[in-house]
Amino acid sequence: MLREIFEQPEAVLHTVLAMHSADAGYSGFDGVGKVAAALRGVKRIVIAASGTSRHAGIAGKQMLESMTTIPVEVEYASEFQHSPAVTGPETLVMVITQSGETADTLGSLRKAKASGATVMAVANVIDSSIMREADARIETRAGKELAIPSTKAFTAQLAALFLFSLWIGEQIGTISRGQARSSVAELLKIPEKLSRVLESKPQVSEISEKYAGVDDFIFAGRGIHYPIALDGALKLKEVAYVHAEGYPLGEVKHGPLALLDEMVVSVILATCDRNNSESVMRYEKTLSGAKEIKDRGGRLIMVANHGDIQVAGIADDVLYIPDASELLLPILEIVPLQLLAHDIALLRGNDVDHPRSLVKAVLTD
């Protein structure tokens, strides 16, 4: 697991370079013609996935809706495959999976195809069943992922979904060619920024020692940071075997706030893109929510941009990441949460690569 966490700069870079080049454009997108043709009649996009891949899908929804005019829904693959939901030619269905063999996700793909929808797959294994059966496909280039908790496949999925959102935006005219080039250039800076985040491993280890005995965590974030809270909580559950839940931060007031005391640790995503007015607004609301948790005696770990003195004045501990645009911050944010889960699990004596009762690919539903 630790090795794969540290392979994320390369995983993201290889995925980006495979999908896009200055000369050939979106050359790594197999089936681009089918999706381009389908887009002329598409009125909605449905993303079906499970576990960490579903969290990538929720982030992808934020990316797609920010860059296009198409509404996006995210479904649990295990529910979607048996649901009465109607798809058909007016729906583009995306299925996301690390292995390409997840039973629920494969069932969702087949349901969508039977209804006449165009199906695009995002997977890390090019010769998998889901990639063979999809109408179009994007191969993430994370390399083989051996540890059961997904780390580098997740950040590669986020990079792929960002590029796919740019491509759709260009296709339907909501993103200009110049805007797309600028966004790709920024994405290409993310691998180096990931390497800088990984340099904080000693600090994360120190923080982990303070919380290794805690049995209850709440993770929370707003907007595109919410799925990162979900995945941070999932990683901790998977490897440390502690109770951890992810929430949109605003929803903490609608029930979970009653749980918060000195025995519960809250992990809050509090990063900000200062060039984005909506990001600044969410950040200010996040600080307000964090203060409310602190006032109730809760302990706070917060993820923030380097140099953020406001967060440092509220939190018990801060995990810092470099600046990035709002839609790319999640790729950086998840890394300290992966390291936190890894280190807490080791301190509790667990096997982080093979957590009890879990398998790498769920092949039965």
Which of 307, 270, 274 minimizes the C-alpha distance to 291? 270
Which band of pLDDT confidence, cut at 50, 70 and 90, is reported for residue 365? low
pLDDT at 24: 63
Cα 337 to Cα 120: distance, rounded to the nearest angstrom: 29
H or E element, residue 302? strand 299-305
pLDDT at 363 over 70: no
CA dihedral 57, 61, 63, 69 (to 10 degrees): 150
Domain borders along the chain are 2-188, 195-347
Same fold yes or no, 2-188 and 195-347: yes
Beta bridge partners of 268: 220, 302
pLDDT single digits (tens) 13-28: 999 999 887 666 776 6
User: Taking Cα atoms as reference points, which of 194, 161, 127, 133 lies closest to residue 56?
Assistant: 161
Q: pLDDT at residue 133 above 90?
A: yes
Rounded distance, CA 92 to CA 126, Å? 21
Give the pLDDT of residue 262. 82
CA distance readout (Å), 279 to 242, 254, 319:
31, 23, 19
Mean pLDDT, residues 322-344 taken together: 98
**Residue-wise burial string across 82-100, b where 16 or more C-beta atoms lie within 10 A, e elsewhere:** eeebebeeebbbbbbbbbb
In this prediction, residues 155-179 reach a mean pLDDT of: 95
Contacts 24+ apart (CB under 8 A), 171-175: 171/36, 171/39, 172/39, 172/68, 172/69, 172/70, 174/67, 174/68, 174/69, 175/67, 175/68
Q: Which pLDDT value is given to residue 21? A: 76
Confidence bin at 63 (pLDDT 50/70/90): very high
For residue 307, the 8-state DSSP code is T
Top pLDDT among 22 and 146 is at: 146
Higher confidence at residue 214 or residue 364? 214
- Report, as an integer, the average pLDDT of 289-312: 93
Residue 155: pLDDT above 80?
A: yes
From CA 184, how far away is CA 40, in angstroms rounded? 24
pLDDT digits (tens, 9 = 90+) for 340-350: 999 999 999 99
The CATH code of the domain at 2-188 is: 3.40.50.10490
Q: Residue 105 above 90 pLDDT?
A: yes
Which pLDDT does position 263 carry in this prediction?
86
Across 124-149, average pLDDT: 95
By mean pLDDT, which of 49-58, 153-162, 351-360 is the weakest?
Answer: 351-360
Q: Residue 32: is its pLDDT beyond 90?
A: no
Indicate whether 242 pLDDT > 70: yes
The yes-or-no verdict on residue 169 having pLDDT over 90 is: yes
Element (H, E) at 44: strand 44-49
pLDDT over 70 at 364, yes or no = no
Q: Tell me the pLDDT of the chain averaged across its residues.
A: 93
CATH number at 195-347: 3.40.50.10490
